[in-house]
Amino acid sequence: MNMNEYVNNPDEAKEYWDRYRLFYLLLVISISLFSVRLWYLQIFNGAELRDFSDKNRLKEMKIKAPRGLMLDRNGEILVQNLLGFEAVILPQYIDDIEKLSQVVGPILNLEPQRVIERIKRSRRVNGAFAAVKLKEDLSREEVIRLKKIRLEVSGLEIRETILRNYPLGENGAQLFGYVGEISKKQLPKLNKDFDGKIRFEQGDIIGKNGLEETLELTIRGRDGVRLVQVDAHGRETVSSASPNLYSESLKNQEPISGQHAVLTLDKTVQEAAWKTMQTNQRIGGIVAMKTNGEILAWVSGPSFNPNELSTSISSATWTKLISDPFKPLRNKVIQDHASPGSTFKPLIALAALQENEISDSTIVSAPGVFYFGRRPYHDHNKGGHGNITVYEAIEKSSNVFFYKMGIALGVDKMFNYMSSLGIGSRTGVELKLEVPGLMPSSKWKKDNIGEDWQPGENLSTAIGQGFVASSLMQLAVSYNAIATEGLVVKPYVIQKILDMDGKTIKEHYPQILRNLQERQANGVQISKKNFQIVKEGMRRVANGNAGTARFWKIPGVPFAGKTGTAQVMSFSADQIYSNCTSRPMQQRHHGWFIGYAPADNPEITVAVLAEHSCHGNTGAVPLFRDVVQAYFQKYHPEVIEEGKKIAKVKAPSVEKPTASEDD
């Protein structure tokens, strides 16, 4: 062996020749290992991994199905859809939230800090994979500016959306409802409620309140799915890079648009109702229906703008809506109940006549004060009304007359009649959150308050005070029963459901719940004659010389009805009517007027609640008149024209309406 380092013998290098076999062994083993592994991945598992790579880059995008429209009875659009754009952040793809907020914030006129907060909050509340809507209903310019910076910031997406639009604006907002994103809390509950019918997902838009909520199943349609190619940052990419885009298992699915709803509403009447409420500066509710139960108009005020509420509403606006003492979000036609006050009197009169406590010729003494036991019960008119029949009692709204009827009938008889007429139970109109109201009975008081019924309570019950509470819709239904001489109908607002092509697939018809001329299970049966007596009394309210609503007329269309006052706060008897208008708004009484027209052959029934207007006559009757007039102007213009001619011939009335002569 040569140990010299510097002079090598070439032959020596040959001594390694055997050792190269070691390396070849290593090489063969490793190349084989790699080849087998590559075969396993690319051939054996190739198809499966190809599928994986497709799923990697293909993202299922939900295409929202357009919700169905809402039309009025003549096909006029009440609720529709508009196309729009929204800016959305996908939190899982954000790589620089600071930069994103700095770039996107100013374009959308949002504080960068607020953008970060919103994203972080959504991450916390809805998880990292839920899209965060930064702004809905983007302007054209915003869309252009966002598109320019889209590639710079990962996580930003501009989506085409369908915006729900309510052309009537604030008018009828509580009836139509609005739409909004499902909250994470709502999700499990909704999926339970709609089990097997719709599968809701986070971020879905659903109807909130009103008909949007009631009709959810019908008008929401079915969302579609579109596959888009995305990069690892979730950005949509142009698919031309790859010809083999879609695997067979992955297919697009077209959205199916929702079905349309034709409502019983009449846009003209609806608009007239809202307009008169605005011009008279009233708040409260108006509901107008045909005597068969088809609702023509339904307004509640003050109101809110559902267009605003259906896109992302600022929390300031929301707080304002929630804390408004006059409750704009509430549907005052069905969600509030109050003492019906004097509007109760025609109903009590029916009971008294039918029970033969009086006949139409019975004369009853109606002084200004009535003592029951030792307690004085006052009339609103200090001098009283003298000796009167039931006609005058209704016309002048005598309290004492009806105190006496209350004593004669007793609470349980009144309960039977009032219940049959629809007081104290839900009318069954399609909207949620309808209150049942309350009609007391002796049993009810025992069960719920634990006390016996006091005879004195018969008096207040008979004039619609005390425990009695009724919603505007209930009063409309019970007055409609008088107008039709006994038919208690189920009011309804959804007339037809149309499919996409406008073909009717479901139709609703008027539904008579009871005919009171026939004997009811609780023994109540009211004769045609007695209905006619009460109707005459109510005709005089608007047309008689002393009627509480006689200052408002519709040319050619005499109407009938009854005024009433609902106390908001308890006052002593002499305070009740004296100084209402001098009190703060929130303490003033509500005014009612419920009636129908024409008086002799009624076509429509209209109920008006004028909150905090102090009086039923000045507060509510003008609104009633405008709504009825709008209806007749549209459907019977000749009657109005004829009436106007006659009115010109007659001398104009010199009397001026006085609010004090109320109820």
Partner 1 sequence: MDISLVTGEKSFFHKVDWTLVVLILGLHGLGLINLYSATHGPLDQNVAGLFINQGIWLGIGWTVFFTMTLMDYSLLNRIAYVVYFLNLGALLYVTLFGKVALGAQRWIDLGPFHYQPSETMKLAMIVVLAKGLSRYSVHGKGLGFQELALPLFLLALPFGLVVEQPDLGTSMMITAVSVSMIIFCKVRRSIIMGAALFLAIAIPVAWKYGLHDYQRNRVLTFLSPNNDPRGTGYNSIQSRIAVGSGQFFGKGYRNGTQSQLEFLPERHTDFIFSVLSEEWGFVGSLLTLGLFAGLFYTLVRIASGARDKFGALLCVGILFYVFWHMFVNIGMVIGLLPIVGIPLPLVSYGGSSMLTTMTGLGLASSVAFRRYIF
In the window 225-254, what residues touch partner 1 (CB under 8 A)?
229-233, 235, 237-238, 241-244
Angle, in degrees to the nearest 10, between helices 399-409 and 411-421: 110
Give the Cα separation of 229 and 252 in Å (integer): 12
Q: Both ends of the chain: CA-CA distance in Å?
A: 134
Q: 519-522, long-range: CB within 8 Å, 24+ apart, which pairs?
A: 520/420, 522/416, 522/419, 522/420
Please check whether residue 516 is in contact with residue 527, taking contact to mean a CB–CB distance below 8 angstroms.
no
Residue 287's closest CA among 262, 263, 265? 265
Q: Which residues contact 354 (CB under 8 A, 6 or more apart)?
A: 417, 524, 525, 526, 527, 530
Q: Choose which of 10, 196, 383, 584 interacts with partner 1 (CB under 8 A).
A: 10
Give the Cα separation of 491 and 221 in Å (integer): 27
Give the Cα separation of 603 and 628 in Å (integer): 10
Q: Choose which of 45, 317, 522, 587 interacts with partner 1 (CB under 8 A).
A: 45
Which residue lies nearer to partner 1 by CB, 234 or 657? 234
Q: Choose which of 25, 52, 433, 586 interacts with partner 1 (CB under 8 A).
A: 52
Q: Establish if 281 lies at the interface with partner 1 (CB under 8 A).
A: no
Backbone angles phi, psi at 164, to 5 degrees: -80, 135
Residue 522's closest CA among 419, 428, 408? 419
Q: What is the CA radius of gyration of the chain?
A: 36
Hey, what are 571's tokens? 């006052």
Which residue lies nearer to partner 1 by CB, 46 or 523? 46
b/e 220-240 (16+ beta carbons within 10 angstroms → b): bbebbeebebbeeebbeeeee
Which residue lies nearer to partner 1 by CB, 57 or 184? 57
Q: Choose which of 25, 37, 279, 587 interacts with partner 1 (CB under 8 A).
A: 37
Q: Establish if 9 lies at the interface with partner 1 (CB under 8 A).
A: yes
Asked whether the bond before 302 is cis by omega within 30 degrees of 0, the reply is yes
Q: Choose which of 25, 27, 125, 646 interacts with partner 1 (CB under 8 A).
A: 27
Which residue lies nearer to partner 1 by CB, 31 or 369? 31
Stretch that binds partner 1, among 14-22, 131-139, 386-394, 560-568 (CB under 8 A): 14-22
What minimum distance in Å lies between the beta carbon of 102 and partner 1?
A: 20
Which residue lies nearer to partner 1 by CB, 42 or 575? 42
Q: Establish if 25 lies at the interface with partner 1 (CB under 8 A).
A: no
Which residue lies nearer to partner 1 by CB, 93 or 370? 93
Which residue lies nearer to partner 1 by CB, 56 or 74? 56
Q: Establish if 129 lies at the interface with partner 1 (CB under 8 A).
A: no
Q: Choose which of 25, 46, 111, 504 interacts with partner 1 (CB under 8 A).
A: 46
Q: Establish if 8 lies at the interface with partner 1 (CB under 8 A).
A: yes
Stretch that binds partner 1, among 15-23, 139-147, 330-338, 529-537 (CB under 8 A): 15-23
Give the Cα separation of 49 and 41 in Å (integer): 8
Q: Establish if 43 lies at the interface with partner 1 (CB under 8 A).
A: yes
Which residue lies nearer to partner 1 by CB, 51 or 641? 51
DSSP per-residue string spanning 363-413: -EEE-SEEEETTEEEE-SSTT--EEE-HHHHHHHT-HHHHHHHHHHH-HHH
- Residue whose entry in the numeric block shows the structure tokens 């005020």: 301
Stretch that binds partner 1, among 46-54, 252-260, 273-281, 467-475 (CB under 8 A): 46-54
Q: Establish if 12 lies at the interface with partner 1 (CB under 8 A).
A: yes
Stretch that binds partner 1, among 35-43, 273-281, 379-387, 604-612 (CB under 8 A): 35-43
Secondary structure class of 64 (helix, strand, coil): coil
Stretch that binds partner 1, among 41-49, 66-74, 219-227, 480-488 (CB under 8 A): 41-49
Written as one letter, the residue type at 605 is: T
Which residue lies nearer to partner 1 by CB, 60 or 111? 60
Stretch that binds partner 1, among 44-52, 300-308, 454-462, 620-628 (CB under 8 A): 44-52
What minimum distance in Å lies between the beta carbon of 52 and partner 1?
A: 5
Which residue lies nearer to partner 1 by CB, 30 or 448? 30
Stretch that binds partner 1, among 7-15, 93-101, 112-120, 539-547 (CB under 8 A): 7-15
Residue 559's closest CA among 471, 622, 469, 490? 622
What minimum distance in Å lies between the beta carbon of 244 and partner 1?
A: 7
Give the Cα separation of 126 and 204 in Å (integer): 13
Please check whether residue 103 is in contact with residue 153, taking contact to mean a CB–CB distance below 8 angstroms.
yes
What minimum distance in Å lies between the beta carbon of 59 and partner 1?
A: 11
Size of interface with partner 1, in residues (CB under 8 A): 55
Chain residues that interact with partner 1, rule: CB under 8 A: 1, 3, 5-6, 8-10, 12-20, 22-24, 26-27, 30-31, 33-35, 37-39, 41-43, 45-50, 52-54, 56-57, 229-233, 235, 237-238, 241-244
